[in-house]
Amino acid sequence: MRKTLIIIAWIVELFSITRWHGCWLFKSFFYFTPSELSARVIDAINLNKGAPILLTHLMHNKIIYFFWGSLQTLLEYWDIRFLKDFIGIIGALGIALAIWYLFTSSKKNVYLWFLFIFCLIISFVEMFLQPNIIYVWKLLVFGSAFQLLSLVGLWQFLKPKSNRRYFFVIVLLAISILSLIFFPLSYQSFCLKI
Kindly report, residue by residue over 8-41, the tens digit of the pLDDT. Answer: 899 988 888 888 887 777 777 777 777 777 777 7
Kindly report, residue by residue over 125-168, the tens digit of the pLDDT. Answer: 887 877 677 777 888 888 899 999 999 999 989 888 888 988 99
What pTM does this model have?
Answer: 0.80
3 state SS for the chain: CHHHHHHHHHHHHHHHHHHHHHEEEECHHHCCCHHHHHHHHHHHHHCCCCCCHHHHHHHCCHHHHHHHHHHHHHHHHCCHHHHHHHCHHHHHHHHHHHHHHHHHCCCCCHHHHHHHHHHHHHHHHHHHHCCCCCHHHHHHHHHHHHHHHHHHHHHHHHCCCCHHHHHHHHHHHHHHHHHHHHCCCHHHHCEEEC
Kindly report, residue by residue over 45-99, the tens digit of the pLDDT. Answer: 666 677 676 666 666 667 777 787 788 888 888 888 888 888 889 999 999 999 9
Q: Where exactly are the structural domains of the chain?
A: 2-31+81-193
